[in-house]
Amino acid sequence: MNLFSPRYLVLNAAIVALAASLALGAPWWIPLIAAALTVVGITDLLQTKRALRRNYPILAHFRFFFESIRPEIRQYFLEDDTVAEPFSRNQRSIVYQRAKMDTDKRPFGTQLDVYAPGYEWINHSISPAPEQHHDFRIEIGNHPDCRRAQPYSASVFNISAMSFGALSSHAILALNGGAKAGGFMHDTGEGSISPYHRQNGGDLVWEIGSGYFGCRNADGTFSEANFVANATTPQVKMIELKMSQGAKPGHGGVLPGAKVTIEIATTRGVPQGQDCISPSKHSAFSTPLEMLAFIDRLRTLSGGKPTGFKLAIGHPWEFFGIVKAMLATGITPDFIVVDGGEGGTGAAPVEFTDHVGTPLQEALLLVHNTLVGANLRDKIKIGASGKIITAFDIARTLALGADWCNSARGFMFALGCIQSQSCHTDRCPTGVATQDATRQRALVVPDKTRRVANFHENTLKALAQLIAAAGLTHPSQLKAHHLVRRISPNQVKLASALLPYLEPGELLDPSQLSRLPPVFGLYWPMAQAESFNPLC
């Protein structure tokens, strides 16, 4: 070992400084700092786990420090305003501005390249419609042929599923308080209904996952009695059976026992201090027919509240099998929420985040077209979630086939999330995604409650202006022909011409299958109501 190598320059300087400061009687803090650096450097030389520290004692720590703040350096100093990784500075800024009631106007024209392939816009009318109120709503569970005992009037923009445990108690309080103030719904996530969901009285969509949290027996199976106790409370407006999620479709989950506090254990109905398992599939049913029977059972037990399911689209024949089961039994869910593979708030293996699950556009089209082709679309409302932030995102998604939109990360930004991407570490810097009580203190609930409500209201005001400019009076009037997409620098197409759309009943006529898009011609005949597996 050549201790005079430049690699050891800082260590040698620390040793020299220590000796000189002691010899010259320097102020006490100088030898103290020199001694500390010397100890660090010698420790680096002797440790065996990190080669960089052995070769560059003391210096290596500077590298580790800058690596640890790399996301912040990139976000605050290097990031392009329009590059969404996963959300751009402009996307985050519009949420912050609307949540804080700051101006959300922008001078000097668009920053987007309007001639780049993929650029989209909505054509305006030369005779705009009068701007209507912005509290746009849709009725769920109110179809004349299958009207429920307790239909629900929902906003077209709502809070997507985020569980207590993944989010802090302060975050849940603020989200639900904002939902109460703004008259929109708050999806509980599969972690069940916590005391923080109940405190402010905002409308809840109770999501029930494969762990049956809040409605489970000790062995993890579904408990009818526990379900009824929660589902029949007035605050719960709809029941949502979660089949899969965009963040990690087809993947279960484990909340380590160390994180299962008394609050989380009580909310979920699991033992405190033990690993909390979310299986990758449900135990209450195993076929499409059984799934629909279970949904109908939940609806009955809830007292007739709108009941549906959420899924991220995977194998097409599985969803087709569910639709065939609807046709066979006459049982239809009141709604389906389509979760795009763009991911969400749940931390997941990188392979799942990047390469598993169908993106929202294709998933939404498949669900919408299948229901249209099976003559079921008018009976079933469709919600959609997947990187929805602005009024244009809502308008685009509704034009493609949805009835309403959910947003998770958008409302997290309204709470003050800065996209530090440390949600899974329990070290969220803003108190949004942590169970650390000291970190949660940073999130002041009354202030963030107002910001959640402001973001919702100002986004819908922008939506009202947008659809009025297009000559429309309600976002439900948006169709694919209102949306235009650039294909190349010299070519644009209406979404209605670019994307496939089925006519009512086309899937029910076997003679039409050969002329339908290949996904239907190939996989619809393979699907079966009796099994999620395809026919061979």
**Per-residue model confidence as pLDDT tens digits over 214-262:** 999 999 999 999 999 999 999 999 999 999 987 777 777 777 776 788 8
How confident is the model over 474-499, as pLDDT tens digits?
A: 999 999 999 999 999 999 999 999 99
CA 345/CA 11 separation, integer angstroms = 43
Structural element, H or E, at residue 14:
helix 9-24
Ranges 2-11, 324-333, 368-377, 437-446: which has the least confidence: 2-11
What gap in Å lies between CA 484 and CA 492, rounded to an integer? 7
Q: What is the mean pLDDT of residues 275-300?
A: 94
* Cβ contacts of 242 within 8 Å, gap of 6 or more: 161, 190, 207, 208, 209, 210, 309, 310, 311
Instruction: Write down the pLDDT at residue 78.
Output: 60
Cis-peptide into 107, omega within 30 deg:
no
Dihedral sign for Cα atoms in the order 78, 83, 86, 87? positive
**pLDDT for the residue numbered 82:** 63
Half-sphere exposure of 397 (CA within 13 A, CB side): 30
2 has pLDDT over 70:
no
Full set of structural domains in the chain with CATH:
6-77 (no CATH), 137-524 (3.20.20.70)
Q: What is the pTM of this model?
A: 0.88
Average pLDDT of every residue of the chain? 91
Kindly provide the residue ranges of all beta strands, DSSP E only, lying in 14-80, ordered along the sequence: none
**pLDDT computed for residue 302 by the predictor:** 98
* Cβ within 8 Å of residue 199, ≥6 positions away: 173, 176
Residue 76, pLDDT > 70, answer no
> What's the rounded mean pLDDT across residues 155-167?
93
> Does the pLDDT value for residue 429 go beyond 90?
no
Do residues 310 and 357 touch, judged by C-beta distance below 8 A?
no
Q: Is 121 exposed, middle or buried (0-12, 13-18, 19+ CB in 10 A)?
A: middle
What distance in Å separates the CA atoms of residue 73 and residue 86, rounded to the nearest whole number?
Answer: 16
Rounded-to-integer distance, Cα 244 and Cα 247, Å: 9
Instruction: Confirm if 165 and 314 have CB atoms less than 8 A apart.
Output: no
Query: Is residue 434 within 8 Å of residue 168, measured between CB atoms?
Result: yes
Residue 437 banded pLDDT, cuts 50, 70, 90: confident
Q: H or E stretch including 292?
A: helix 288-301
Tens of pLDDT along 370-427?
999 999 999 999 999 999 999 999 999 999 999 999 999 999 999 988 887 777 777 7
